[in-house]
Amino acid sequence: MKMKICGEKQSEHLEATASTMVDPSGVVRDLIAGVTLALTSIPQAVAYAELSGVAGWRGLATMGFPCMAYALVTGSPWASIGVTSITALMARTALADAHEALDEEAYVAVYACFAVAVGVASVALAALGLGGVAVERIPGAVKAGFKLGFGCAVISSQCATALFAGGKKDLAALLAGDDGAFGAAAAALAAFREASPALGGLLAGALPTLRVLYAVCHPASWSPEVVAVASIVLLGTLHGKKLLPRGAPPGVEVLVLVGAAALYSERVGYGGGVVGAPPEGAGGAPWERIVAPWALPWDRLVDLCFGGSFLKLALSAATFAAVDFLQSVSVCSAFESENALSWSPNRELAGQGVASVASGAFLGGPCGASLSRSMLARMTGARSAKAGFVHGAAAVALLPYAAVLKAAPKAALAAVVLAAVGPGVAKPKALLALSGADAAVGWATAAVSVVADPTSGFLAGLALAALLAPFKGKQD
């Protein structure tokens, strides 16, 4: 056994030495890693755009610029940035009123405006040296509970798309026409929110959760074709890597599955919702799409979503930035423990901010670190942040070909998102390991995140952790 281990180590050393001799500066490896990241990120970019409430093609149209901006700031060779399931859902929740009131073009401008606000808040927090606080002071129980609650919220948001031909519209219509307990509960929640908007807002996640429960309890109303597509992509994303050639980079299976689903949709005639083609001119020159941050509709954002108060916007953006930064903490802490790669919390928080501002300038949403893409950057041999810049440049170059995904079923993209969060929801290891006061904080954080929204759950968890701190001390 020892001889085998020594042989493997020697082989790895010889491979690394040979690689260094062939590519001493790491440029080739950065190019390969960057292009691989761009190709394998396409399904996620489209899926998370849908999750955030905008057309899927916009995810591809905007994913490159934050990567290039982040590469100029980050100190990590592997950390990858972009719109993630966390930032997409949190932004959709924060901007729910705008999403309901505006057409897509107007909403996209408000969405981009909020991205800039989050970016500025991130840079401000970093300038104040508060990046280290997220690493040292946020209780682990809050992080664990937030992860579970957020995962449940993501599943709630994608369930209808993965089960019904008309997605959320079909599910809402079915629930509205229900004469049983589900219909009565939905009507009661709607009446409560109309009678007391302030208190009803604290239960923003209750109705989506009720819809999921209704859907699960009424499988006869599902679309067989939609469910079949979603199931194949979900299972393939979770287990398909085993069928790929050894050494294939993570994410290739997702690219293959979504591509196959799009081909099926186009050739056979899929009956569910599809991504759709980008409008003519969407792949034009990047400089033609940039919008100066001060030219974005700040007044509309504040009036529709924050009661006309810029102070509320600032507080919301700062809270969003802090919660979003937990992703960077998770990614960089993993690299620190596994690869002894030191990192600066404030530098990465500032990088998150610069990326979000760049995303907003190109009409994209708030950005956060992606664990899956960061792990892929490490696995494909990235040597420096140049790989992230290549990732962004390659993504921009791919935009003229976005129409290839026009027939991609939304159910397939929903399955990609579900595969990203499903395992953590099915078995929340960190939360199950807690006991006593920590368990109370963790489960309460998760519950509030589901019933209200993830940001409220995070804040509630912090408050409860502070309240129970004295009792935890006695328990210890």
DSSP string, 49-116: HHHHTS-HHHHHHHSHHHHHHHHTT---SS--EE--HHHHHHHHHHTHHHHHHS-HHHHHHHHHHHHH
Question: What's the whole-number mean pLDDT along residues 412-431?
Answer: 87
Please write the tens of the pLDDT for every residue from 123-141. Answer: 999 999 988 877 777 888 9
Q: Is the pLDDT of residue 462 over 80?
A: yes
Least confident of 41-50, 273-282, 384-393, 428-437: 273-282
Report pLDDT for 285: 60
Report pLDDT for 199: 67
Q: Between residues 61 and 223, which one has the greater pLDDT?
A: 223
Report pLDDT for 31: 87
Enter the tokens of residue 373. 């893409």
Enter the tokens of residue 454. 């993830």
Please, are residues 144 and 324 in contact by the beta-carbon 8 Å criterion? no
Least confident of 144-153, 346-355, 369-378, 383-392: 369-378
Q: Note every long-range contact of 167-172, with CB atoms under 8 Å and residues 24 or more positions apart, other chains counting.
A: 167/272, 167/273, 167/410, 168/211, 171/211, 171/214, 171/215, 172/211
Element (DSSP H or E) covering residue 231: helix 224-239
Sign of CA pseudo-dihedral 323, 327, 332, 336 = positive
Query: pLDDT confidence of 16, banded at 50, 70, 90?
Result: very low
How far is residue 38's CA from residue 363's CA, in Å, rounded to a whole number?
A: 19
Least confident of 80-89, 291-300, 353-362, 371-380: 371-380
Report pLDDT for 474: 58
Q: Is the pLDDT of residue 106 over 80?
A: yes
Question: What's the whole-number mean pLDDT along residues 80-88?
Answer: 90
Question: What's the whole-number mean pLDDT along residues 267-294?
Answer: 76
Please, are residues 381 and 19 in contact by the beta-carbon 8 Å criterion? yes
Query: pLDDT confidence of 39, banded at 50, 70, 90?
Result: confident
- DSSP label of 180: S
Q: Is the pLDDT of residue 208 over 60?
A: yes
- Collapsing DSSP to helix, strand or coil, 369 comes out as strand
Q: Is the pLDDT of residue 91 over 90?
A: yes
**Burial label, 194 (beta-carbon count in 10 A; 0-12, 13-18, 19+):** exposed
Report pLDDT for 284: 57
Please, are residues 65 and 358 in contact by the beta-carbon 8 Å criterion? yes
Sign of CA pseudo-dihedral 24, 30, 33, 36 = negative
How far is residue 99's CA from residue 101's CA, in Å, rounded to a whole number?
A: 6
Biggest distance spanned by C-alpha atoms of the chain = 73
Query: pLDDT confidence of 281, banded at 50, 70, 90?
Result: low
Enter the tokens of residue 83. 């719109």
Please write the tens of the pLDDT for every residue from 241-250. Answer: 788 777 776 6
Least confident of 108-112, 377-381, 455-459: 377-381
Report pLDDT for 339: 83
Query: Of 335-339, 372-376, 433-437, which one has max mean pLDDT?
Result: 433-437
Q: Is the pLDDT of residue 5 over 60?
A: no
Enter the tokens of residue 459. 């804040």
How far is residue 321's CA from residue 326's CA, in Å, rounded to a whole number?
A: 9
Query: pLDDT confidence of 471, banded at 50, 70, 90?
Result: confident
Residues in the chain: 476
Q: Is the pLDDT of residue 20 over 50?
A: no
Report pLDDT for 201: 65
Query: pLDDT confidence of 417, banded at 50, 70, 90?
Result: confident
Report pLDDT for 475: 57
For all residues of the chain together, what is the average pLDDT? 85
Question: What's the whole-number mean pLDDT along residues 369-373?
Answer: 82
Mention every residue, 6+ apart, whose C-beta is less than 8 A from residue 37: 80, 373, 376, 377, 380, 387, 388, 390, 391, 394
Report pLDDT for 18: 41
Enter the tokens of residue 315. 């507080």
Report pLDDT for 10: 42
Please write the tens of the pLDDT for every residue from 329-362. Answer: 878 887 887 788 889 999 999 999 999 999 999 9
Q: In Å, what is the CA distance from 42 to each residue of 153, 391, 421?
A: 23, 11, 18
Query: pLDDT confidence of 234, banded at 50, 70, 90?
Result: very high
Q: Is the pLDDT of residue 11 over 50?
A: no
Q: What is the pTM of this model?
A: 0.75
- Percent over 70 (pLDDT), the chain: 89
